[in-house]
């Protein structure tokens, strides 16, 4: 981690807050670093170990249920860790600690937004989802509706979310690895793509889950150690930590209070975060890996605990970095950004947690945290790839093309082919988008999930009057409006396409696109007088009983 003349644009964080979560936080030109051997050795150990797990998982993965859901044999505690792992991406770790490092209190506000969706998922979605579905959230949305149109919609929107998220992760991975390991961008992207395909192709959901669990444990341990070391320097007095940070930071006491925010944008962002989480296909899929509703509930409980704990740690880490890293000799550099000289942390603010690791734990610990950051990306992309593959094989191939008559072996074959294709697409897109500003993509993924997936999923479980026509039209309206409003908004229209003013004034469209989706779903359902609509409404009672009691739900497969 020596010299770096490149820059990770902090602007990405301030322009589009959702991105603090994403790898998209890592932006701009990054110069390759000197090779970091500690990190590489630890990473190789991680890869070797997870490949061993993949080999073990491969021998237990035979049926479609094994491949998609690990046979439903994951416990609530394990699943809670895996869900937390999906959520604690490298960017969430580096991005949120960077945001605290730059702005102090505002970083905590975003953490809270990311967390509060979980209780609502538990109260309204988790157990109903587990009782009704089998492999994908489309199972639930199409439970009493026509398979072909509803699954086509669900697969489209799943693939959109997965693609946006994957591009953000791949580009972020390439840049991060350049910085952390001193590897070239293209070799980093290719390696991430290949490892991702290996985990999913051979080990299915079982390997993907265990990779996620191991990484979550490593990340929680590493972050706990850092927070402990930070607090130990101030005699475990938070007040003392805040005093020292305020003294060191250029913004002084302003880091202790919230910055200015537009009310509509804030509420809209809150909605995207809260309901987006309840519509992310790779997160929803995890509820099918446990045996029943009881374990599904427990998983959310543990996940909420781990994620909340993790966000408190990143808050301490951000303040620790202000105190121990900011303006310390050997940690700062001066770079030229848009023609202006900027004095910043080496590698930019996104490296705050990494520099702090060096400051509190030396070279070995720096290597450990770097390796964990890389492992985190791998685990997240593997989950995404599996989710995309199940949308193609289970929803499109088995249900839409083969009309439910596909045999299991063919369905698994299709999902494996899709995994390889997704790996190739991810690598190609990662390379193509290297120089692009992809910061808006995770925000877009959250908005689509909140505006297209969530309304349909929610109404299919709670509203008897939902019909196929309403679901499909409403879903596509949500999908299209989320994309359109982000493109016309300040993030893409002004910052990327360089138009002088945005056609749509808000950065976060969720409040409008979610409302549009709900209203059009309602409108096109209540005006649907077809006979099939009557039949669909009539099937609600049986669906309701199953969603409440779990009678008829898919259980854990017996091995």
Output 59 or 539, the one with its CB closest to another protein: 539
Instruction: Give the count of alpha carbons within 13 A of 231, CB side only.
Output: 14
Shortest distance in whole angstroms from residue 265 CB to another protein: 9
Residue 506: what are its φ and ψ, rounded to 5°?
-105, 150
Nearer to another protein by C-beta: 239 or 341? 239
Question: Which residue, 258 or 362, is less far from another protein as judged by CB?
Answer: 258
Question: Coil, strand, or helix at residue 146?
Answer: coil
Centre a 10 Å sphere on the Cβ of residue 252 and count the other Cβ atoms it contains.
Answer: 12
Among candidates 501, 455, 515, 509, which has minimal Cα distance to 483?
A: 509
DSSP at 28: S
Q: Which is nearer to another protein, 16 or 118 (CB)?
A: 118
Q: Which is nearer to another protein, 248 or 366 (CB)?
A: 248
Structure tokens at 234: 């101030």
Give me the least distance between CB of 388 and another protein, in Å please: 29
Q: Strands 332-337 and 340-345: what pairing?
A: antiparallel
Helix, strand or coil, per DSSP, at residue 337: strand
CA–CA distance from 189 to each of 29, 174, 201, 306, 499 (Å)? 15, 5, 18, 29, 32
Nearer to another protein, 243 or 535 (CB): 243
| Cβ-count burial 312-325 (b if 16+ within 10 Å, e if not) | ebbbbbbbbbbbbb
Is 352:321 a contact under the CB 8 Å cutoff?
A: yes
**Which residue, 61 or 304, has its beta carbon nearer to another protein?**
304
Distance in Å, CB of 258 to another protein, minimum:
4
What would the DSSP string read from start to end of 153-194? HHHHHHHHHHHHHHHHHHHHHHHHHHHHH---HHHHHHHHHH
Give the residue with the Cβ less far from another protein, 51 or 124: 124
Which is nearer to another protein, 535 or 541 (by Cβ)?
A: 541
- The residue assigned the tokens 């500003």 is 437
Closer residue to another protein in complex, CB, 24/113: 113
Dist CA 188 CA 174 (whole Å): 5
DSSP 3-state of 285: helix
Helix (H) or strand (E) holding 444: helix 440-448
Q: Residue 223 CB, nearest distance to another protein (Å)? A: 15
Q: DSSP string covering 343-400, please?
A: EEETT-GGGHHHHHHHHHHHHHHHHHHHHHHHHHHHHHHHHHHHHHHHIIIIIIIIII
What is the closest distance, in whole angstroms, from the C-beta atom of residue 263 to another protein in the complex? 4
- Of the pair 248, 473, the CB lying nearest another protein is at 248
170, with CB counted inside 10 A (0-12, 13-18, 19+), is: buried
Residues lying near another protein in the complex (CB under 8 A): 105, 108-109, 111-113, 115-116, 118-120, 122-124, 127, 238-239, 242-243, 246, 253, 256-263, 266-267, 270, 274, 294, 297-298, 300-301, 304-305, 308, 311-312, 541-542, 545-546, 548-552
**Strand-pair partners of 341:** 336
Q: In terms of CB distance, is 262 or 535 closer to another protein?
A: 262
Nearest to 386 by CA among 219, 218, 556, 210: 210
Strand partners, 343: 334
Min dist CB 118 to another protein, Å, is 6
C-alpha closest to that of 8 among 144, 153, 180: 180
**Cβ of residue 338: shortest distance to another protein, in angstroms?**
29
């Amino acid at each position: 981690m020596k010299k770096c003349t490149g820059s990770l644009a902090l602007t990405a964080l301030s322009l589009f807050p959702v991105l603090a979560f994403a790898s998209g936080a890592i932006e701009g030109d990054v110069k390759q670093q000197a090779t970091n051997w500690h990190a590489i050795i630890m990473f190789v150990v991680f890869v070797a170990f997870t490949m061993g797990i993949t080999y073990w998982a491969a021998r237990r993965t035979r049926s479609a249920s094994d491949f998609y859901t690990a046979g439903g044999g994951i416990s609530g505690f394990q699943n809670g860790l895996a869900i937390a792992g999906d959520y604690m991406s490298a960017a969430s770790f580096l991005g949120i600690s960077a945001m605290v490092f730059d702005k102090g209190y505002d970083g905590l506000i975003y953490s809270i937004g990311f967390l509060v969706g979980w209780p609502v998922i538990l109260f309204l979605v988790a157990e109903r989802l587990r009782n009704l579905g089998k492999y994908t959230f489309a199972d639930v949305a199409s439970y009493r509706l026509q398979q072909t149109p509803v699954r086509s919609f669900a697969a489209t929107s799943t693939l959109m979310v997965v693609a946006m998220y994957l591009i953000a992760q791949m580009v972020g991975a390439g840049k991060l690895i350049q910085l952390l390991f001193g590897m070239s961008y293209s070799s980093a992207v290719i390696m991430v793509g290949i490892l991702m395909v290996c985990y999913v192709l051979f080990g299915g959901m079982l390997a993907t889950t265990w990779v996620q669990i191991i990484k979550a444990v490593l990340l929680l341990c590493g972050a706990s150690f850092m927070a402990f070391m930070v607090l130990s320097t101030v005699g475990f007095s938070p007040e003392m930590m805040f005093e020292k940070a305020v003294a060191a930071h250029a913004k002084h006491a302003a880091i202790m209070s919230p910055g200015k925010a537009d009310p509509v944008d804030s509420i809209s962002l809150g909605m995207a975060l809260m309901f987006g989480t309840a519509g992310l296909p790779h997160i929803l899929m995890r509820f099918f890996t446990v045996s029943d509703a009881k374990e599904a509930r427990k998983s959310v409980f543990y996940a909420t605990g781990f994620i909340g704990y993790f966000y408190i740690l990143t808050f301490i880490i951000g303040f620790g970095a202000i105190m121990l890293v900011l303006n310390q000799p050997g940690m700062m550099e001066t770079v030229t950004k848009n023609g202006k000289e900027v004095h910043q942390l080496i590698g930019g603010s996104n490296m705050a947690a990494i520099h702090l690791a060096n400051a509190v734990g030396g070279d070995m610990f720096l290597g450990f945290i770097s390796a964990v950051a890389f492992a985190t990306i791998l685990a997240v992309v593997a989950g995404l790839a599996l989710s995309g593959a199940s949308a193609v094989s289970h929803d499109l191939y088995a249900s839409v093309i083969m009309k439910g008559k596909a045999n299991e072996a063919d369905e698994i074959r299709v999902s494996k082919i899709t995994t390889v294709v997704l790996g190739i697409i991810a690598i190609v897109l990662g390379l193509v988008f290297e120089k692009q500003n992809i910061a808006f993509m995770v925000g877009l993924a959250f908005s689509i999930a909140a505006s297209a997936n969530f309304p349909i999923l929610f109404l299919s479980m709670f509203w008897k009057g939902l019909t196929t026509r309403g679901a499909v039209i409403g879903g596509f309206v949500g999908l299209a409006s989320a994309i359109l409003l982000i493109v016309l908004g300040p993030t893409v229209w002004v910052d990327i396409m360089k138009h002088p003013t945005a056609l749509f004034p808000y950065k976060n469209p969720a409040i409008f696109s979610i409302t549009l989706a709900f209203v059009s779903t309602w409108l096109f359902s209540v005006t649907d007088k077809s006979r099939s609509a009557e039949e669909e409404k009539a099937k609600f009672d049986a669906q309701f009983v199953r969603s409440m009691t779990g009678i008829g739900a898919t259980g854990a497969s017996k091995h």
